Structures are given as C-alpha cells and as structure tokens.
Structure 1
Amino acid sequence: MMVADTQHAALPAAQGPGLAARARGWLAAAAWPLASFAVLLLLWEWVVPVLEIPEYILPVPSAFIAKLVEAHALIFEHTLVTAKEILLGFLMATVISIPLGFLIVSVRLLEKAVYPIIVFFQLVPKIAIAPLFVVWFGFGLFPKVLLTFLLCFFPTLVASMSGFRALDERVLYLTKSMGASGWQTFRYVRVPAALSYIFAGLKVSIVFAATGAIVGEFVGANAGLGYLLLRGTSFLDMPLIFACLVALSVIGILFSYAVEMLEGLLMPWQRKG
C-alpha cells in the first residue's frame, strides 16, 4: 500500500515539469510576435506625426485602439456574426472535403468523372459569383457561409487526396495479411498517415475562410465586420476601419491557433517538445 501511495504521489510531480515546460514554451513562442507588434506600433505612432500624414489617410495606433475600446460593444456584435460565418463555412468544407477526398482516391471512376468537374468549378472566380448568391439566397447568413465553404473546399480536398494517396500500398497489403478489417485499416493506418496532409490543407483553408466571409459581407450584408468596414469607409471613419481590421485579425489568429491545437491533440507524435 505504501509503495502504491508513493507511486500515486509521485505521478503529479512527474507530470508537472512537462506541463510547466510546455507552458513556458508557449509563452516564449508568443513573446516574440508580441514584441514585434509592439515595436511596429511604436514606430507607427512616431512616424505618422513626423511625416504629417492626416488621420483620414492613416490614423495612429492610439486612435484606432481608442476607437476599439469606445465602440467595443458594436464591434464585438459584428465580430460574432463574421466569426459564425467563418466557422460554419470552414466546418462544412471540412466535413465534406475529407470524406470526398477519400472516396475520390479509393474509387478511380470518381477521380476520372468527378474531379475534373470540381477543378472546373474551382477555376470560376468566387468573387464574381458572390453577387449571384445574394440574388439567389438574399442578404442573410447562408450566402456568406456558402462563399466561405467554396473558398475552403478545394484546398482541403486536394490536401486530403494527397494524404490518402501518400500511404504505401504495401502497408495495406501487410495489414490485410495480418487479418485487419477494412475499418481497422482505415482508422489505425490510413487516417493517421493522412492527417499531416489534411491539417496542412486546413491551415490554408482557415485563412481563406476569413476572406470568404468578408467578401460575402462586402457584396451584401446588414451585419458583420465587412458591413462595418463599408460603413466606416462611407463616412471616412479611419479609426473604425482599422479597429475592424484589428478585430478581423484577432479572429483569424484565434481560429488558426485552434486548428494548430487540434492538430496537436490528434497528432501527439508530432508535438515539438
């Protein structure tokens, strides 16, 4: 009993340094970008008055940060709308693209018949068809989500196809000879081998997702950061415009880090330190 108690007492002590070291690593990784941004903002704050650039062209950081604080409720309300569009479009693309990529790789007929059609529609500029979505679906949430989905769909699909193709066929023969079922081979062999490719596509897609949502709001919307940007432009309210850009950047950073965190959870063997 005393040995068991000693082992249980030692377990948190053994885990503690690892978590502390990981937390220090995250803080160190965040310190450099934060320091770079701080230096950039200080230079910006100093250079604009020296060059006598008027505020309606380029405001100083203190001006749009003050606007961000002053209008935080309004900006937060519109930020939630844009974040919802980004998240829904990205998730829809992820749920559809990854299984479709596996099907296209697994069924040669689909690759010959369906993939060229997908590539053809991908060549159509999404900004050009955004007004059509407004005509067809109105000014609500769906056209922005659909445009975001279209921008995220192809990168995730191509990355998924590359991932499912990357596995050596001899590994599949080996698992089959060892008596593994199709589901076991898919779960324990094919998916782990493809995850690094899939997450590479997801990291690209989450960046495109913000672009799709904003473009959709530019074309036709009554809420969202894109709508707020257009409103600020019409009144030449540059501090509001830059405050919206800051909010949009924060959304992009948070979603990008969320994808990276999910990658770390699903692929622990690739964690650094």
Structure 2
Amino acid sequence: MNETKKRGNANLPALILLAVLLMFWQAAAMGIDAAYILPSPTQILVRLWELRGPLFTAHLPATMSVVAIGLSISIVLGLGLAVLMDISEIAEKALYPLIIASQTIPTTALAPLFVLWFGYGIWSKVLVTVLITFFPITITVFDGFKSVKTEMAELLFTFGASKRQIFFKLKIPAVLPCFFSAIKMAVPMSIIGAAIGEWLGAQSGLGYFSRRMMTQLDGAGVFAPILLLSVVAMFFTELVAILEKRLIHWRND
C-alpha cells in the first residue's frame, strides 16, 4: 500500500504537467477550429472510440506481432553482440564501428528497400524494428560489462574462480540494471519502428491505419492510432520497470 502511494506521489508532477499541456492543446485546437489540421484531445478520444473496432481487432494485433518478433530478435542479437565484444577484443574492434555505422543510415531510407525486398508482409516491418532496437540493447549491455570493476574479477580469479564462473557470478548480476535500462528504451523504440515500417509500406497495422486516415484528411483519425501506440508503449515500459524491481531487489534496498 505504501509502495503504491509512493509511486502515485512520484507520478503526480508528470500528471499535472500532462494536464496543463492537454488544456493548452485543447484551447489551441478550439482557436484554430480546423480538426483536419489540429484536432483537439477530446476529438481524438471520440474518434478513437468510434474506430475501436478495426483498431483493436485488426490493426493493434498486427502491430504488436511486429513488435514482439522484432523486439525478441533484437534482444537475442543485442545480447549476443554485447557478450561477444566483451569476451573478444578482436570482435569489439571489428563490430563496434559497424554497429555505430548502422545507426547513421536513415531508417526512412531503408524501410522502402525492405518493402521492395520482402514485400508488404510482416518481415519488412520486423527488419525496421530490429534495426532501430538492437542498438541500445547492444551498446548499453556492453557498457555494463565494461563497467564491472577489474579488481573484483581479479579477486575472484585469485580465489580460484574460472572465467565462466566470473562471467555468471559477477558480470551477469552487475549488468542486469543496464539490461533493463536498455529494454525500457527498446520497448517504445520497437513500437516506433513497427509504426514507421507500417507507415511506409503495409496492409495492416496502426501505422498503416494512421497513414490511411491522413489521405482522408481525418486529423483525429490520424492521431487516434498514435495515441493508442503511446498508451501501449507506456504500459509495456511500466511492466518492464515492475519486473526490474522484482528481479533486482538489492537495487531498491
């Protein structure tokens, strides 16, 4: 009960700021009085309710499928690259520049190529999601490995611990906070990646639906799936934060 109350008090400033911004948005939209340019928050909520059928039964599941597959691949790929660069200096020197370079290419330039190569199916969107999300996981976890104090590793080594034991008993627990920080970044980025892929080429999904509403000059219809994406991203990020607190209990002591 006290924990819930504490979290509520911590979120109070953010809720107040959000309410103020929404009031300004509502006032600005009423002043412009052109819903196709700037719909008000109330108009977006009404439109979201009107479109709840196709959004929740068809397009949201399509987007979540892309997010689930893309994020899963990114976690495996990111962790694999981070571990490989940690155990091999040659791999670090070879892979690190390429990983950085992969983020210098605009995603909007690659997404149409993915559609050209893989068509309008799910895999073109999954590749966009992986391209965006594997980077923070790889770099954050790798930096976590590097932050482990060498003195502690040397101490365990003098006590007879093997490299395998040092890795699992010292490095893995030490890097867990970095891993969860990376996941909390990757979750909203995976949703953004899926939406970008759907916006540029898809037959279903919230990004596709938003683009379709734009062609109809339906401003509130454009914002409705975006609002839904934001709520979903916040929900899953909060789930990751709760899981982090349960698994890394020593961090909260």
Shift of 1:214: 1.2
Aligned to 1:72: 52
Aligned to 2:36: 56
Alignment size in residue pairs: 252
1:247-262 equivalences under 5 Å are 247-262=228-243
Aligned AA (2:47): K
SS in 1 for 2:160: coil
Aligned AA (2:15): L
Tell which deviates more after alignment, 109-118 or 187-196: 109-118
Sort the Cα spacing of 1:115 and 1:41 in 2 relative to 1 into closer, same or farther, 3 A. closer
Shift of 1:179: 2.9
Shift of 1:238: 1.2
Shift of 1:242: 1.6
Equivalent residue in structure 1 for 2:149, among 148, 168, 192: 168
Equivalent residue in structure 2 for 1:130, among 106, 111, 127: 111
Is there any run of 5+ residues in structure 2 with no aligned partner, and where?
Answer: none
Aligned to 1:9: none
Rg (Cα) greater in structure:
1
Equivalent residue in structure 1 for 2:222, among 197, 221, 241: 241
**Which TM-score applies when normalising by structure 1?**
0.84
1:174-193 equivalences under 5 Å are 174-193=155-174
Aligned identity (percent) is 33
Equivalent residue in structure 1 for 2:69, among 84, 88, 91: 88
**Which TM-score applies when normalising by structure 2?**
0.90
Residue 142 (str. 1) matches residue 112 (str. 2): no
Q: Distance in 1 between matches of 2:245 and 2:188?
A: 19
Q: Distance in 2 between matches of 1:204 and 1:247?
A: 18
Residue 220 (str. 1) matches residue 201 (str. 2): yes
Residue 105 (str. 1) matches residue 111 (str. 2): no
Shift of 1:169: 1.6
Tell which deviates more after alignment, 84-93 or 180-189: 180-189
Tell which deviates more after alignment, 189-198 or 137-146: 189-198
Aligned AA (1:67): R
1:72-102 deviation line (CA, Å, top 9, x unaligned): 1211131222122123212211112113212
Supply the RMSD in Å over aligned alpha carbons. 2.0
